[in-house]
A and B are shown apart, each in its own frame.
Chain A
C-alpha cells in the first residue's frame, strides 16, 4: 500500500517533467456564427464598464466594427490580463482585442494582425516630484510600478535594471501606492495613463519622451490563418474609410467626453449584491456536492482495501498540497485541451467541489477514526447489519465530531470563492473591480466586498463554535 502511494507520487513528478516537453496543442473553437473576443474590461478608455454596467471603450468599439465587417455575431469575454493569451491558446476565444502590443516574444506563440493603433511607454511621476525627476534616468535606485505581464514590465526589467520594478494587478492599484508614496513613479501606455490620471483626478504627471513606440495588434492562434486574413482586411478597410480615426477621436480627441466616474449607490449595491449572490451560489453548490462526495471518500480513506486506499489517499494529499489557484487554472485552461469546454462557472464549481471535498473527506476520515471500534462491535452484537451499524451508530457519531471542522471547511470555501474572479466569473470581487475601474476607489469597494464575506461567514463561525461546545458537553468518543 505504501509502495503504491510512492509510485503515484513518482508518476506525478515524471508526468510534470514530460508535460514540459509536449508542445501545447493549439486548440481553436470553430465559431460559425459568432466571433468571440477577449479583453480585460479594466483598461479605460480601451475597455471598461460604464456606470450602467455596460462594457465600453476604444477596443470594444473596434471589436464591434470588426465583427460587423466579418458579418459575425460579437461575443465579448472579459478575463484577467495575465491569463489572456493562455485562454486564447486553449481556444476559449477567437481573438484578443485588448490593446496588446506586438512583440517578438508573443509572436512565437500567436499570430498578430496589422497594428490598429500606435502608442508608447511613458514615465509618470507624482506632481510634487516634478522638480526632482526629469526623465527615467533620474529614477535610478527608485521603485516604479508596472502592471504584471504588460510589455512595460519586461522593458523596465531589461533596460533599466537600476530601477526596482514593482508589479501590480492594475493601474488602480498603482495609483493607490503612488498616493501612499510607496513607489516613485510608474510606467504605462501614454494614452491610457493620461486618460486614467484625468479620470481619477490624480496628482500625477508625464515625464520625458516616449521610451519606445508600441504597435497594438490583434492576436489569433497560429492555426487560425483564415480569421487573421479576415481581421486584416477588416482593419485595412477601417483605416481607409476613416472608421479607426473616428473611434480614436471619440475616445481621445478634442471633443472626447469623459465617461462619468460617478456610480449611483443603488447601482453599486445592486452590482455587488448580484456578484455576491453568484459567489454564494457557486459556494453553496460546491459545498453540497463536495460534502456528498466526501462521505464515500472519507470512508475509503478509512478502509484497508489494497488499491483503493492509497489511490484515494494520494489524490487527497495532492489536492490539499497544491494551491487552489493552480487547480482552478488547470481545470479552466486544461480541460479544453482534452476536448471538454467548461464555462467559467462550471470550471469554478468543479474545482471548488473537488478541492473542498478533499478537505471534508479528511475531516470525515478523522471523525470516523474518533468513533471507538467497540461501537461497531456493540452494534453488530445487537444484530445490526454492517450498513445499519454505519448508518445508525458510526456515522451519526462521526458526523457530530466532524461538524466543527466541516464548518471551518465551509467558511474557507466561501472565502476561496473570491479566487474565481481570476477566470472571469462575475462574482463579488470581479464586480468590485468593475466598479473600481470607473470610480478609482479600490479601498472603499474592496472593503465593502470584504464586509459582505464577513457578514456571511461570521455567523457561521459563531454557530460552529456553539456546536463544538455542545458536542463536547455530550461527551462523544474522543471529541
Chain B
C-alpha cells in the first residue's frame, strides 16, 4: 500500500510546487493523476519515485517512510517510466530489458533473456528484440520501456504522460493492454489526456496549483472538471 501524507515540495527557487498533499493508492488499480501542465503532476511523481525529497510530509510504502527502505528493495517495489522513456540508445531493446535483471537481480542471462522475450511478446513487440531504440516507433518504444520496468515486477509502476508520443490508435491499444496488466501491477498514470484517463483509470486525483482539487472516482473528477470549465 502506497500512501502520501501532508506532502509539500518547494523548489530551490522558492516555488511551492506541491502543497499539503494526501493520497492513498490502493493496489491492483489504475490510478490517474490529472491536471494541467504546471499543476505539479510530475513533481509529485518524482517525490514518489525518490528522485525529489519532499520539503515536508512523507511517502509511505507498506507503512514505512520510503527513505527508510533499502534503495534496491524500493526500486524493485516502485518502477517508473519517464515521459521521455529513456531507453538506452546503445543497447538493443532486448539488452535494455536484460540489463536490470542480470546486473541488479543477478539472474543468469538465459533466464533474463527468456523472461524479457516473454514480456515483449505479451506486449506484442517480440519482433523488436534485436532493434535499437532509434529504429522503432514511439508506440513501440513506449511498450519496450514499460516492459523494461515490468521485468522488475514492481508493485507500483508510475507512468509519466504515457500517451504524449502516441497517436489515437496506439493510445487505444495501449489503454487495452494496460487494463489487462493491472491485476499484477498497480499503475499510477500521470496525464493530462482526459479521454485516456477516463478509459483506463478507476479512480484518481485532480491537481491544480500543487493542491488536490478533487479526488475519488473518475466520474466524480470529470464532473468536477466540467463544472470548472463551465
Contact = CB atoms under 8 A, between A and B. Distances in A.
Interface of A: 372, 374-375, 377-384, 388, 392-393, 396-397, 400, 474-477
Describe A's contact surface by its main secondary structure. helix
B152 interface: yes
B57 interface: no
Contacts of B103: 384, 388, 392
- The interface centre, meaning the residue of B71, B84, B89, B152 with most chain A CB atoms within 10 A of its CB, is B89
B132 A474 contact: yes
B151 to A, nearest CB: 9
B82 A382 contact: no
- The interface centre, meaning the residue of B80, B88, B148 with most chain A CB atoms within 10 A of its CB, is B88
B15 interface: no
Given A382-B104, A393-B88, 15 more contacts: A374-B84, A377-B82, A378-B85, A378-B87, A381-B79, A382-B99, A382-B100, A382-B148, A383-B72, A388-B103, A392-B88, A396-B90, A397-B90, A475-B134, A476-B89
A383 B132 contact: no
B49 interface: yes
Contacts of B100: 382-384
A384 B86 contact: no
A381 B149 contact: yes
A272 B76 CA distance: 62
Interface in B17-76: 49, 51, 71-72, 75-76
A393 B148 CA distance: 14
Interface residues of B, number: 26
A379 B103 CA distance: 11
Contacts of A372: 84, 86
A381 B80 contact: yes
A209 to B, nearest CB: 77
Contacts of B105: 383
A173 to B, nearest CB: 51
A384 B148 CA distance: 13
B49 A392 contact: no
Interface string B143-184: 000001100100000000000000000000000000000000
Contacts of A477: 89
A382 B51 CA distance: 13
A383 B80 contact: no
B90 A374 contact: no
A374 B49 CA distance: 14
B86 A378 contact: yes
B82 A374 contact: yes
Contact of B88 (A377, A381, A388, A397): A397
Contacts of A400: 90
B106 to A, nearest CB: 11
B121 to A, nearest CB: 21
Contact of A378 (B76, B82, B90): B82
Contacts of A375: 86, 88
The 9 closest A-B pairs by CB, nearest first: A378-B86, A383-B75, A475-B134, A382-B100, A383-B104, A374-B86, A381-B80, A396-B90, A397-B90
Contacts of B51: 377, 380-381
Contacts of B99: 382, 384, 392-393
Contacts of A381: 49, 51, 75, 79-80, 82, 149
A397 B105 CA distance: 23
A380 to B, nearest CB: 7
Nearest to A473: B134
A381 B154 CA distance: 11
Contacts of A392: 88, 99, 103
Contacts of A397: 88-90
Contacts of B132: 474
9 contacts: A372-B84, A372-B86, A378-B88, A380-B51, A381-B75, A381-B82, A388-B103, A393-B88, A474-B90
Given A377-B51, A377-B82, A382 B90 contact: no
Contacts of A380: 51, 75
Given A381-B80, A381-B149, A476 B104 contact: no
B146 to A, nearest CB: 12
Given A374-B84, A381-B149, A392-B103, A474 B89 contact: yes
Interface string B116-138: 00000000000000001010000
Nearest to A471: B90
Contacts of B149: 381-382
B149 to A, nearest CB: 7
Nearest to B151: A382
A382 B75 CA distance: 6
B25 to A, nearest CB: 18
